[in-house]
Amino acid sequence: AAAPADAPTIFDKIIKKEIPANVVYEDDKVLAFRDIAPQAPTHILIIPKVKDGLTGLSKAEERHFEILGHLLYTAKLVAKQEGLEDGFRVVINDGPQGCQSVYHIHVHLLGGRQMNWPPG
Ligand code: 5GP
């Protein structure tokens, strides 16, 4: 079930540096860090520093256009930084059927191995 829009998640603790994360990219609006349970040689999560109601993509509103573009563009920057010139995948899981587990929007960047299509 979806969590309330203002409910804190583990990612708030990472943003506040209350728990450690392996940060690979950061600017004023977004943070990118390695997933604790990587599903590929490169597996990075890209999140907005301010959630602003974006528990997941399904909650997006027009006011989020800029941050949504920023998240996706950061995936491109980090893919280049990680040397994923042969390709990569970005994923946004949403809701129970999308296997979302953390209700603070995040883009998964996966690479370093051959991906499969369709995903499971
Ligand atoms: P979701 O399933 O919501 O799309 O993705 C959540 C991701 O967050 C999972 O891939 C999970 O491994 C990752 N994750 C959960 N807790 C932590 C944590 O404390 N640190 C890091 N680096 N990743 C986490």
What is the spatial distance between Cα 72 and Cα 59, in angstroms, rounded to a whole number? Answer: 17
What is the value of pTM for the model shown? 0.96
Q: What is the mean pLDDT of residues 75-86?
A: 98
pLDDT tens sequence across 2-34:
567 778 999 999 999 999 999 999 999 999 999
The structure tokens 């506040």 sit at 16
What is the spatial distance between Cα 88 and Cα 41, in angstroms, rounded to a whole number? Answer: 11
Per-residue b or e along 53-76, where b marks 16 or more CB atoms closer than 10 Å to that residue's CB: ebbbbebeeeebeebbebbeebbe
Bond preceding residue 118 cis, omega within 30 of 0: yes
Note if 43 is an active site residue.
no
Nearest 5 degrees, angle CA 52-CA 100-CA 53?
10
Atom number of ligand 1 nearest to Cα 99: 2
Q: What is the mean pLDDT of residues 91-99?
A: 97
Ligand 1 close to Cβ of residue 55 (< 6 A): no
Bond preceding residue 38 cis, omega within 30 of 0: no
Ligand 1 close to Cβ of residue 93 (< 6 A): yes
Atom number of ligand 1 nearest to Cα 19: 19
pLDDT tens sequence across 42-80:
999 999 999 999 999 999 999 999 999 999 999 999 999
What is the spatial distance between Cα 42 and Cα 96, in angstroms, rounded to a whole number? Answer: 25
DSSP 8-state secondary structure symbol assigned to residue 99: T
Domains defined along the chain, listed by start: 10-111 (3.30.428.10)
pLDDT value at residue 91: 98
pLDDT value at residue 58: 98
